[in-house]
Amino acid sequence: MIKKIEHIGIAVKSLQNSNELFKKLFGGSHYKIEAVESEGVSTSFFMLGGTKIELLEATTSDSAISKFIDKKGEGIHHIAFEVDDINKEMDRLQTEGFELINKQPKNGADNKQICFLHPKTTNGVLIELCQEKSPA
């Protein structure tokens, strides 16, 4: 079951420049920078109230973020929702007719397992499902 908005992902050309911009906007610094090599991105997280803002900079020219910026420019890339059981939610949403971009959860930033829903089945919005990874 979807619980809440976990974060909003924003594609940026420069993490360094965008960190400064959002620091001024939010009145506080990011709390984490993390590379996600499997996705070809570096991320930076800000906390705003109970919601996180994730800035995403491409680290490879063939990453989804690089392609997104080439096509649409900088801006909102996805909305992520927290779920209790990502596998169960993926099954439920697929049964409801949503198309999954990845068939199995994968490791994402900020200690999460993630899965994306294809925007063609969500009115053009890229949706990410997130579940906190279990402690090892």
Output the pLDDT for position 136: 61
Rounded to two decimals, what is the model's pTM?
A: 0.93
* Residue 132 predicted with pLDDT over 80: yes
Decide if 75 contacts 11 (C-beta within 8 A). Answer: yes
CA dist list (Å): 54 to 35, 75, 77, 96:
12, 11, 10, 28
Confidence label for 1 from pLDDT (cuts 50, 70 and 90):
confident
Burial class of 43 by CB neighbour count within 10 A (0 to 12, 13 to 18, 19+): buried
* Residue 54 predicted with pLDDT over 70: yes
